[in-house]
Structure 1
Amino acid sequence: MMEPLQDTIAKLRGIIAGARSAVGFTGAGISTESGVPDFRSPDSPWMRHKPIPFDLFVSSAAARREAWRRKFAMDDLYRDATPNRGHRALASLVHAGKMAAVITQNIDGLHQASGIPAEQVVELHGNGTYARCLDCGMRHELQAIRTIFGQKGAAPVCDDCQGLLKSATISFGQAMPVDEMRKAQELAMTCDLFFVIGSSLVVHPAAGLPVLAKRNGAKVIILNRQETPLDEIADLVIHAEIGPVLEPFAL
């Protein structure tokens, strides 16, 4: 028999209240309420606009043009997305000093838009709201790139060094960001509560972080609509919609 939602929220509130240094860990599920599509649903638009693998992006001008076409097509699908109850709840916990940081697999920038300082958001898969030069690392804004792409129909290059520009996300086959992975591991090892929200916990190495936290003495909470491979190690598992569960924590 399923426990009433208010009882589950009361348990969650008690665990969070007892934590000294919680860490959030978010996946695509927290952003679907904002209209951002997840990657694994059968009808996901990501299946129609699959990201180009990194090695192909680097080696082929045609692949780079197609990558940017798909990038802008996806951006148009959720250009008006704003932070929802889940994002706002985590921002409230960060500002209250209960949550040290949020580690995210998402690339939508909604945690920063919710008010969490950028230095307290660890983006394991990068950020799709801007681009970087693969050679010099210079940041480039998407609107300027889109204008040039629309005019020339060619993949953009860096103004400074003529290097290839790519959305600042981690593509398939691209190395995980070293600094972000190190910071995420440090947070997992030093927190006393690791709160997983909206992640299927099947993508590695990110999916190993809750295990690392548990091994170092932290409690683990998993809030996700479906079961995950790590439910069995969690101190509290909540299979429910994220918004209604976290709404009481959003100020």
Structure 2
Amino acid sequence: YDYHSARHAARLDSAEDIGRRAGERAVARVGAGRVRGGPMPIVLDPRVGSSLLGHLSGAISGSAITRRTSFLLEAMGTRIFAPGIDIVDDPHRPHGLRSRPFDGEGLPVSPMKLVSDGMLETWLLDSAAARQLGLEPTGHAVRGVGGAPSVGPSNLYLANGKTPVASLIADIDYGVFVTELIGQGINLVTGDYSRGAAGYLIEGGVITTPVSEFTVAGTLQSMFRELVPANDLNFRYGINVPTLRIDGMTVASG
């Protein structure tokens, strides 16, 4: 599949480009085989790698901290990613899909580093959670069509690394390039992670044949520590990441 969203119609990809990419991706997946199980490196396409930032934002939301239901409960001010990793929430990005001048409670917002050089710098707080924790709100209240505000980021992204994608996978003798994640096997209380997946084999540093019906498992704690970003960040969605490599994941074939 493929799709594109934009704040302004002039910035939308053409229907022809979207259709061509969707068709090329579908054809490339024909005849998918099986992957050999075991511990190995995985590489996450940016379209699925962004889900890791979704798990991070859920684990550092004020509601999770006040309920003490987060695997990052004691992690404030500690290193949870490798040195050099920055994760930024930028509500002021021009044309950003989630750009906003104020949050769901009317509080002003500003760009904020959630993770700086691998260190966790802040929780995401609305007014209610901030009061319970004795802190100031961070401007991350969001509203739906009804009910009380909840907590959520705006334009969240993991900053570019320094390594081209080809170099990121060049030393992988056997691994998988994941383009699809299936299911919701994530426990934000413990950090346990297990999801169905599909994608392509990486053999001898090269992406080769399509594979499907396998699972990738680990813990979010170890995945965050092992994560290495490529240098291909593109601001296309509400949450954006470059291509990501994570060593030591457990892969099991269905």
Does TM-score exceed 0.5, indicating one fold?
no
Select the structure with the greater relative contact order (CA < 8 A; seq sep ≥ 6).
2
More helix by share: 1
More strand by share: 2
Q: TM-score scaled to structure 2, two decimals?
A: 0.28
